[in-house]
Amino acid sequence: MSRQIIVGNWKMNGTSRDSLALVQALVAGVPASAADVVVCPPFTQLALLTDTLKPSTIALGAQDCHKDSAGAHTGDISAPMLTDLGVSYVVLGHSERRQEHGELDETVREKTVAAIKAGLTPIVCIGETEDQRESGDHFDILGWQIKGSLPDGFAGILAYEPIWAIGTGRAATTEEIAETMTFLREELVRQFGEAGKNIKILYGGSVNDKNAASILSITDVAGALVGGASLKAEAFLSIISAASAA
């Protein structure tokens, strides 16, 4: 069985002092036999944390990238710029990017292509709203997001984050997650054939140190995309331990 992946998405949090202290605590606390661990700080902290992470097994991730490798795009960061800093992973299509910045599936797809071309592992996020789930349209929505956001020959990670569970403290039930994971696996196989069986799927949405073990034990859950709990070393290390035991 492959190791699970625990990804910490810090979002727009972290001064230099706080970020360095958090990473130092994680480096000291993560056992060698743990799950694969990725931290995704804001762009402003990537260069600072590179050297601190080098002696450890913790990988560095970013929270977004542009679809172009260079150009007149004020305020944007390209995938080659990220690899130049030692970044290995990049989160793409998070619902907060889709909602706050108007990113469409096509936008996410273009960024995913750019990330793969630059040698990054993309973590592509999909998820439904509460209204879409309650109306019974959630599987259709997720299927279309997969089709629109993942390019042919996708070589990366899919992250399922129900929008109604992000930052709310209300994680999906194990039954809801299991049912959705079964659908996502079937959909990946339908769209990508045999290769769809090997695409890893993470769960995200109010994952914490108390519910991590039950979530990570669900079939086809290959790890977690963790938000708020990844900003607290003790909680994040507890989630990593749960993944190692799963």
Task: Give the model confidence (pLDDT) of 58-117 as tens digits.
Answer: 999 999 999 999 999 999 999 999 999 999 999 999 999 999 999 999 999 999 999 999
Q: In the chain, where does DSSP find H-type helix?
A: 16-29, 43-53, 79-84, 95-100, 105-117, 130-134, 138-149, 174-192, 212-216, 233-245
196 is in an annotated binding site: no
Positions of the chain with pLDDT lower than 50, given as ranges: none
Packed helices 138-149 and 105-117: angle between N→C axes, nearest 10 degrees: 40
Task: Determine the Cα–Cα distance for residues 37 and 81; give it in Å rounded to an integer.
Answer: 22
The three-state DSSP-derived secondary structure of 99-161 is HHCCCCHHHHHHHHHHHHHCCCEEEEEECCCHHHHHCCCHHHHHHHHHHHHCCCCCCCEEEEC
Residue range(s) defining the domain that contains residue 231: 5-245
Catalytic residue among 96, 103, 110, 161: 161
144 is in an annotated binding site: no
pTM, 2 dp: 0.96
Q: What is the CATH number of the domain that holds 84?
A: 3.20.20.70
Those residues whose C-beta lies under 8 Å from the C-beta of residue 202, and which sit 6 or more positions away, are: 5, 7, 123, 157, 158, 159, 160, 221, 222, 223, 224, 225
The total of structural domains in the chain comes to 1
pLDDT at 31: 82
pLDDT at 171: 74
167 is in an annotated binding site: yes
Catalytic residue among 94, 96, 103, 187: 94
208 is in an annotated binding site: no
pLDDT at 168: 79
- Is residue 66 among the annotated active site residues? no
- Is residue 94 among the annotated active site residues? yes
pLDDT at 184: 98
What is the rounded (10 degree) CA torsion for 70, 105, 9, 162? 180
Relative to beta strand 223-226, strand 5-9 is parallel
9 is in an annotated binding site: yes
